[in-house]
Structure 1
Amino acid sequence: MDDYYKPQSRELKEMDKMEKDFAIDNFGASTNPFQHQTEALKARIFHGANKIEFSFFGTGKSQEKQFTPGSFGKREREDMLNLAGYNKVETSTHATVGVQGLSGLNMQQGKFDDQMRKQAIDEIKRAIDFASEATTGGAVVFHSGEAPRYMHGRWKNGDAEFKMYPEEEKRKITYLADPLTKRLVGQISPIDKIAKPILKTNENGDVIYLKDENGNEVIENQLKDFDRMHHGKIPLYETDEEGNIKTELITFEEFKKEREKDYLKEHNRKPTEEELVKDFFHQQKFVDVMYSLYFGIGHEKEYNEALERREKIINSLNFYKELKEKVPEKDWWKVKKEDPRTADLFFPPDVEDPVKYLEKRLGQNERQIANIKELALHGRRTATEQLDMVRRAKLADKFAVTQSAQSMADLGVYAWQQTKNAKKKFKQGKRNYDLKNDIYIAPENLFPETYGSHPDELKNLVKQGRDAMIKKLKSNYGMSDAKANKLAQKHIKATIDIGHMNVWRKYFVSNPNESLEERDKRFNKWLLKKTKTLVDEGYVGHIHINDNFGFHDEHLSAGDGNAPIKEFIEQAKDAGLNEFIVESGSINPMRAMPDAWHHFGSPVYHMHVPGVTADTWSDFWHSYFGKTQKPRYIVGSYSPSQDFRGAPFYSGLDLEGLQYFDR
C-alpha cells in the first residue's frame, strides 16, 4: 500500500521522467488562502502535491475569507497534521501577507514604528505556533520590505545597473534616520542645493580662520567634535563691496566631488557614501545650528551684562535707603530727580524718588534676567540637540537592517524553541507525527522598490539576522560559538520567489545599441548568477515558483511568462535544495501545479496508446485528476438500481463521505 499512499501511484511515478531528473513530487503547492485550510490542504493532496504550504491573508483578528493562523484551533490543527502525516506529504507555512518587513517602517508617519514592528513579530510568532502544531515543520515565510532606498548606482563592482524611474540618477533619494527617535530626519538627492559661503583663502589655497589677540585660531568647543569640515574653527568669508557675505549654490553632486578631494588630502582615502551624505546633511543643518548657537551666545552676553547691572542697582538702592534714613523727610524732595525719559511736548517729566525708582528697576532687571536666561538656554539647547541628531543620523536602510536583525533573532530563537517543543510532544505521545523538518523563519524577497528584494540585500538581511541570533543565544543561553552558529543557520534561511525576482526586469538598464533579446539574456544571466550565489553560500532554504512578464507579480503558471524558472530550479536542485512551492494566482488556482509539471517536461500531460488514444494535456487537467471537488454519483454499471437504494442497501452517501468515515 505504501506505493499508493497519494495520487502519484507507483506506475505514474515510474513513467514520470521529467527533464534533468525532476519528478512531479519535487513540486509542492500553496493552499487557497480564502478557503478553510483543512479543505485547502485536502484539495492540494488530491492534486498530487508532495509539499503543501499553508497561506494566510488575514492580520489581527480573523474575518470571513481573511483567515489567520489563529483562526484554527487545536483540533483543526491536529486534523491538518494527521491529514498530512497519513498522506505522507510535507507542509510549511506562509505568514500573513500583511507583514512587509520587520523594521517597523511607517512611511506615512515618516518613522520606524515600534508598535508596527511588534505587531509584525507577533504575526510571525502566530505562524510559528501554527507550524509547530499543524505542520511537518519547515519554512515560515514572511515578506521583506525593510526601508526605502534608491536603485541607480547602488550596486557597483561590475554589477548590472537598475533605474527605478527616468532621471533617477538625478533625483534618487537617500534617507537618513535618527536611531534615537527612529524618525526619518533627512532625505538627500543629487539635485539638492545648499548656499555655500565663499571662504577666504591665502595664497596657498588654505582657509583663513578667525584668530584671537594672540594670533591663535579661535575654536568653538561645542562645534569642535561636530564640525567635520572646520573642526570648530571659525572661517572667514569673502564679502562684496557692501560687506555682504558672498555665497554660491552647489548641488549634492558638486559637493561630493569637493569632499572627495578633501578626504584624499586629509585622510588619504575616498569617503564612503554614508560619510558624503552625512557631510551634506551636516551642511544643510549647519546654518540652523549656527543660528541657534550664536542666538544663545548673544543672549548669554546680555545675561551676564544684566547680572552686572543688577549688582549696580542693588548697591545704589542700598545707598539711597541708608540716605533716606538720615535725611529729614521735609528735605527728601531735594534728592528726587526728574526722569527725562518721561517728558513729552505738553507735560513735564516725572519726578522720581530714588528708592522707589531703583526698586522698580530691580524688578525689571529680575524679569529681564529670567527672560534672557531662557533665550540663552533655548539657543544652546536647540544647537546641542541639532548637533546630536546630526551626529546620530544613519542611513535609513542600515538602521532598518539592525532593527530587522533583532526581530529575526527573536523569531529565530522562538522557532528553535517551538521545534524542540514539537519534537518533545511527539516523544511523549502528544502528537501523532514528528516534525520532518526543523521550523525556520524565511524572509522572502518581495518587490524591488524596498530593501530586502535585491539578492545582495536578502543575503545581508539573513546574515545580520543570524549574527544577532548567535549573539542572543550566547548571551541568554550560554551557548558556544559553534552551537549558536549551527542553530542560527538552521532556523534562519531565505525564501527566493522567482516571480518577484523577475520583476527586477522592468528596472534593468539596457546597454547602448542592445536589442531586447540581448537585454533579456543579460538580465537572465544576472538573475541566475545572483541567486546561485545565494543558494551556494547556504542562505536559501525555500523557493516559490510563479511567473510573470517582468512588470508585475501576476502569479502566472510556470512557463507562461518570461522568468528563467527552469534554469533557476535546475541550479537550485543541483545545490541540494528540494523545497519548491508552486504559487497559484487568482486565475490559475487549479492549473498552476500541473502546469509546472508540464513546464518541466512531464510526459503525464500526453499519455498515448498507439492506435487507440492520443490524449492531450487539456484532456488531463480538465479531467477529475485536476479537480478538487468530490464525485457526486456512482454511474454506469457500478450504480445500483432503484430497487436496491436505501437501507440496508446503498445509503446514498457519496464516496467521499464513506471514505472519511472509513478512516
Structure 2
Amino acid sequence: MQFYSHHPMADYFNAMDSEKYGRSAPQDAPRGMPTGAPRGGGESGDNSEPVYGVKDIGMSVPLGISAANVAGVYSKIRMGTGAIELGFPGAVSSQRGAHTPGVYGHDQRQALREMGAINEVTFTTHGAYNIMGMMGRDERGNFSISNARISKDEIARAIDFAGDVAGSGSVVMHSGEFERPMTDMVVDDPTGKHNLNIDPKTGRMLFMRRHSELYDANFVLLDKRTSQVMETVQKDRMVAFPDYLKATSGYEGEDIDGNRVTINPGDYVDYWKRKIPFKYLYHPTKGPVPKYDPESGRFATRYLTFGDFKRIAEEENKWFEEINGRKPNQYEVRYPEEAFLHATLITNESHSRGWALQYGREAEDHIRDIRRLKEAYNRYKKLEESTPKEELWKLVHRDELTRGILGTGGKFLIPEQKLPSEWLDEAIRTSYKNLEFAKQASTSQEQQAKDTEETRRNLITPVKRLEEHPTRFYAELGIRAWERSKDPEKPIFLAIENLFPERFGGHPEELSWLIEKSRDRMVEFLTEKHDVYGVGGEVDQLSTGKQKIVTDKTRLNQFYQEGMSEEEARKLAEQHIGVTLDTGHLNLWRKFWMPIQGKSIEENDLLFNDWYLKQIEKLAKKRNDKECSSYR
C-alpha cells in the first residue's frame, strides 16, 4: 500500500529533517552543573536519567475532529511526530465529529498499522472521552450496572482497536467515578482520619470548592440493590434522634432476658432499670429505649450533628467486631454518612412499627367481640322462637355477654323495630369490617417498617459499590488487554487517567487506590476457580425470608487460568492495568487551592507547585512495572 499526497513541500518534509531528529536532545549542562559534566541518556553510557528528543514528543489525534479518516491520520504523521494517541470522542454510536472504534474496519486498521510500521510511529489509544469511570452514571445522576457494562464494552472496543493497530501501548480512559466533597477526601477509611485534603504537618485544609464546604459538604448515598442515588447527606443538617435511657449509677440487677448482671453507669437500661444486653444495642424492638417524662407524657429526643454520627459509626463498627469476633469487611463497615441517613430511616421505621402494634391491639378486641357476638346470636336465635320481643330486649340489657357490646347505643333501640338476632347479625358484620381494617392497617404498617429496614440495610456509600462492581470491570478490561497483547515485552495495558478534582479518582492517591483494587480483582479472576458472579453452578435461592449478602463464591469463574500462580497473575495485573498521569488535569487543582494567610499570590503558587510535585513523587515511589507507566 502506498501513501503519497502529491504535495511537493509535504513530500520533501522528511528529507529536510535535522540529523538530530529521533535522537537525544543536545547535552546542554543543567543549571548549576559545570559544562562537560556527565548526564544520563548520553552516549557515555550513564543511565541515571533519560533525555528525550523531538521524536519522543507525541500528538493527540481525536478521530472525527483532528482526523476524519485514515488519510487524516497520515497527514499528522507527515508533520513529523513520532508518537500519536488515537482518541475516540464518541461512545456507543459514532457521529461525524465523534468517531468510535466501530467506524474503523479491518482494512482501515491494517492501513493504520502499516503506516505506523513504515514511518516508525508509535500509536497509543484513548477510549471514549465522555466515559468517566465504571460506576455507570446516567444523565439523571443515578448509577446502574447496566450503564457500567456499556462503558466497559466501549473501552473493550478501544482495546481491540489497539490490538489491531498498535499491538502494544496504553489504552487510556478517564476516571471520575462519583462526586465527593473536597473537604472529606478519604479513601476507604470510615474514620475519616486519613483525609487527603489536610496537610499532615499543619492540619490546614488545602482545597475547597466553596468557602462554606467545610460545614455544608454533601455526601451521596446509593441503594445497593438498584445503584440509584437515594439521598444527599448534608453536614450542616441536624437530625432529631431519641435520647436513650442510661443508668446513672452502678448496681446489681437483671438484664431484659432475666440474667443477673452488674449494671454500670452509662449502660443502656429499660424503664424497669433492667440492662439492655450489648447484643441488642441495634435490635429494632429490644434495643435501647428513649427517656420518658411523666409530667409532659412525652419521650425525650435530641439533635445530632454530623460529628455525632462519626462517633456513632465508630461505635457500631466496634459493636460488629465484638459480636462477630472479626472486623467488618469493606462492605459491612459503617460510614458516618450511612449512620446519618440510617437515623432518619429508623424514625420512619419506628413510626410504622408503632402503628402496626396499635392496629394489632385493636384486632385482638375485634376478634374477641366477634366470638362473643356469635355466641349471643346463636342463643337469642333460639330464644326468639319462644320468647316475646319485649322480653327478649330485657334479656339483652341484663345479659353480661351482650351488655358490654351493646353499650349506650342499645338504649335507643326500639324493640319493635328489630329482633336481637338482627341487631347481633349487624354487629357481627360491623366487627368483621373493623377487623379487616385493623388487619390491613397493621399488616401494611409492619410491611412498611420491614421495607424501610431493608432499605436502611442496603444504603451504602459509593466507594463500597466502586469496590464491588467497577473494580471488577477494570479487572475484566485488564484481562482483555492481556488477551489482545501480541508481544509480552510490549503489552497493551489499560491506563486510567486522573480527570476532575471534584470527582473520585481526580486525586493521585485515589487513582493509586483504584489501580491497586483493580489489580487485586484481576489476580482473583486469574487464580480462583469460582466467583460470586460466575457463569455456571446453581444460584442459591434462600427460603428463610432473609436476603443473603452476595459473597459466596460458588459459581464457575470464566476468567480462571488453570495452573497460573498468584505471582504470575500479579505480574500480569501490574503489566496490564496502569495509570496515565495527565499533568494538565492535575493542574486543575490550582483553582481550588486555599491561600495561606500572609502569603502573596506568587508564594501561594510556589506552595501549590510544591504540593503538585510531591503528588508526582508519591506516584513515582509507588511505581511498580506499569502502575505509572504513561505520562501526558
Residue of 16, 19, 22 corresponding to 2:52: 22
SS at 2:409 equivalent: helix
Q: Separation in 1 of the partners of 2:104 and 2:572?
A: 29
Q: Separation in 2 of the partners of 1:403 and 1:267?
A: 25
Determine the structure 2 residue equivalent to 1:281: 341
Question: Could you tell me how far 1:248 is from its partner in structure 2?
Answer: 4.4
Aligned letter for 2:590?
Answer: R
Aligned letter for 2:118?
Answer: Y
Contact kept, 8 Å, 1:495 with 1:540, in 2: the verdict is no
Residue 117 (1) aligns with residue 148 (2): yes
Any gaps of 5 or more consecutive residues in structure 2? 1-12, 29-49, 186-194, 250-264, 323-327, 398-405, 530-556
Residue 320 (1) aligns with residue 376 (2): no
Q: Separation in 1 of the partners of 2:474 and 2:221?
A: 23
Q: Separation in 1 of the partners of 2:69 and 2:624?
A: 29
Moved more, 192-201 or 288-297: 192-201
Determine the structure 2 residue equivalent to 1:589: none
Determine the structure 1 residue equivalent to 2:526: 473
Q: Separation in 2 of the partners of 1:219 and 1:350?
A: 64
Q: What are the within-5 Å matches in structure 2 for residues 147-546 of structure 1?
A: 147-154=178-185, 155-156=195-196, 158-159=199-200, 161-198=206-243, 203-204=248-249, 206=266, 209-211=269-271, 216=274, 225-226=282-283, 232-238=287-293, 242-245=296-299, 247-253=301-307, 256=310, 274-324=334-384, 327-328=385-386, 331=388, 334-335=391-392, 341=409, 351-419=417-485, 423=486, 437-474=490-527, 475=529, 476=557, 477=560, 478=562, 479-538=564-623, 541=626
Once the two structures are superposed, residues 14-53 of structure 1 have per-residue CA deviations (whole angstroms, 9 ceiling, x without a partner) of 5842666221122221114312242342133222222211
Aligned residues, how many? Answer: 518
Aligned letter for 1:172?
Answer: A
Larger Rg: 1
Aligned letter for 1:410?
Answer: E
Question: Could you tell me how far 1:115 is from its partner in structure 2?
Answer: 2.8
Q: Let me know the Cα RMSD of the aligned residues.
A: 3.7
Residue 132 (1) aligns with residue 217 (2): no
Question: Could you tell me how far 1:163 is from its partner in structure 2?
Answer: 1.0
Contact kept, 8 Å, 1:28 with 1:580, in 2: the verdict is no
SS at 2:171 equivalent: strand
Q: Separation in 1 of the partners of 2:520 and 2:339?
A: 30
TM-score by length of 2: 0.73
Once the two structures are superposed, residues 51-103 of structure 1 have per-residue CA deviations (whole angstroms, 9 ceiling, x without a partner) of 21101111222121221111111111110111111112211111111211111
Determine the structure 2 residue equivalent to 1:632: none
Q: Which has the higher helix share?
A: 1
Aligned letter for 1:307?
Answer: I
Q: Separation in 1 of the partners of 2:625 and 2:511?
A: 10
Determine the structure 1 residue equivalent to 2:39: none
Contact kept, 8 Å, 1:494 with 1:539, in 2: the verdict is no
Taking structure 1 as reference, are residues 151 and 376 closer, same or farther at Cα in structure 2, changes over 3 Å only? Answer: same
Q: Separation in 2 of the partners of 1:217 and 1:353?
A: 57
Contact kept, 8 Å, 1:52 with 1:91, in 2: the verdict is yes
Q: What are the within-5 Å matches in structure 2 for residues 35-184 of structure 1?
A: 35-106=67-138, 109-154=140-185, 155-156=195-196, 158-159=199-200, 161-184=206-229
Taking structure 1 as reference, are residues 260 and 515 closer, same or farther at Cα in structure 2, changes over 3 Å only? Answer: farther
Q: Separation in 1 of the partners of 2:282 and 2:24?
A: 75
Moved more, 185-194 or 494-503: 185-194
Aligned letter for 2:347?
Answer: V
Any gaps of 5 or more consecutive residues in structure 1? 424-433, 544-576, 582-663
Once the two structures are superposed, residues 311-355 of structure 1 have per-residue CA deviations (whole angstroms, 9 ceiling, x without a partner) of 22222233334445xx24x846643569763888xx958733233
Taking structure 1 as reference, are residues 262 and 514 closer, same or farther at Cα in structure 2, changes over 3 Å only? Answer: farther
Q: Separation in 2 of the partners of 1:364 and 1:515?
A: 83
Aligned letter for 1:92?
Answer: T
Aligned letter for 2:516?
Answer: K
Contact kept, 8 Å, 1:342 with 1:349, in 2: the verdict is no
Q: Which has the higher contact order (CA 8 A, sep 6+)?
A: 1
Contact kept, 8 Å, 2:245 with 2:288, in 1: the verdict is no
Taking structure 1 as reference, are residues 493 and 14 closer, same or farther at Cα in structure 2, changes over 3 Å only? Answer: closer
Q: Separation in 2 of the partners of 1:73 and 1:263?
A: 54
TM-score by length of 1: 0.70
Once the two structures are superposed, residues 358-405 of structure 1 have per-residue CA deviations (whole angstroms, 9 ceiling, x without a partner) of 333323333322321222122222222222322332222332343210
Question: Could you tell me how far 1:10 is from its partner in structure 2?
Answer: 4.3
Give the share of equivalent positions with the same residue, in percent.
Answer: 25
Contact kept, 8 Å, 2:24 with 2:51, in 1: the verdict is no
Q: Separation in 2 of the partners of 1:352 and 1:142?
A: 84
